[in-house]
Amino acid sequence: MAPEVRPSGAALPPAAAHGSVQDEAWMRQALEEARAAAAHGDVPVGAVLVAPDGAVLGRGRNRREQRADPTAHAELEAMRAAAGALGGWRLDGTTLVVTLEPCAMCAGAIVQARVARLVFGADDPKAGAVTSLWDLVRDPRLAHRVEVRRGVLVDECAAVLRSFFDHRRAP
C-alpha cells in the first residue's frame, strides 16, 4: 500500500493499524502514569506516545504542581520525551494515548508535532479541545489533521480522576 501523500507533500508512514486491544494495553500504561501523578498531588492524567511500530517512545504525566509549571501536562511531557529520544520535533506516524481528552494547549501541540493518531479515555467537558468544547485536531482548515479514537477504558480513566477529587474533598 502506497503511503498517503498529504497536502504538504510529506509522506505519511503507514497508518497505525493497531486494534482496540493494543490501544487498551497502551492506555493501561497511561493509567499507570496517571496514578503516579496523583501520588505527588497532581491531577491524575497520564500519557504515552507510541511509534508506528508500536514501541513506546515517551511517557508523561501531569506535573503542574510538582514543577510549578502551567504547561507540564501529560501529553506535552510525553511528546517532549519522544522528540528528545528521536532527536527531532516531528512525530509523524505516532499515536498519542492519554487518559483524558486533551486541552487546547495540548491539542495545538499534537497538531504542531504532526501526531497521526490520538486515543483518549475520559471526556473533559470543562476544557476538552477534541470533542467537548472544540475540535482543534480535526479542523478542516488545518493542513494536518489527527485521527481520533475516544472512550478507550473510559471507566478506569474517569475513576482515577474521581477518586482523586473525592479524596481531596474528604475532610
| Site map 58..77 versus Zn ion, x via CB under 5 A | ---------------x----
Indicate the Cα dihedral angle 74, 158, 123, 62, nearest 10°: -10
Biggest CA–CA distance in the chain, Å, is: 60
Q: Binding to Zn ion by residue 106, rule CB under 5 A? A: yes
49 interacts with Zn ion by CB under 5 A: no
The least distance separating Zn ion from the CB of residue 169, rounded to whole angstroms, comes to 23
32 is catalytic: no
Q: Which of 100, 103, 116, 161 binds Zn ion (CB under 5 A)?
A: 103
Residues 6+ apart with CB under 8 A from 136: 104, 107, 108, 111, 129, 130
Residue 69: which of 77, 57, 58 has the closest Cα? Answer: 77
Rule CB under 5 A: which of 112-171 touch Zn ion? none
> What is the closest distance, in whole angstroms, from the C-beta atom of residue 118 to Zn ion in the complex?
12
Minimal CB distance to Zn ion: which residue? 106
Cβ pair 19, 96 in contact under 8 A = no
39, 41, 44, 50 alpha-carbon torsion, rounded to 10°: -70
DSSP symbol at 92 = B
User: Which is nearer to Zn ion, 52 or 129 (by Cβ)?
Assistant: 129
Closer residue to Zn ion, CB minimum distance, 93 or 102: 102
Q: How many residues bind Zn ion (CB under 5 A)?
A: 4
Residues near Zn ion, by CB under 5 A: 73, 103, 105-106
Residues carrying an active site annotation: 75
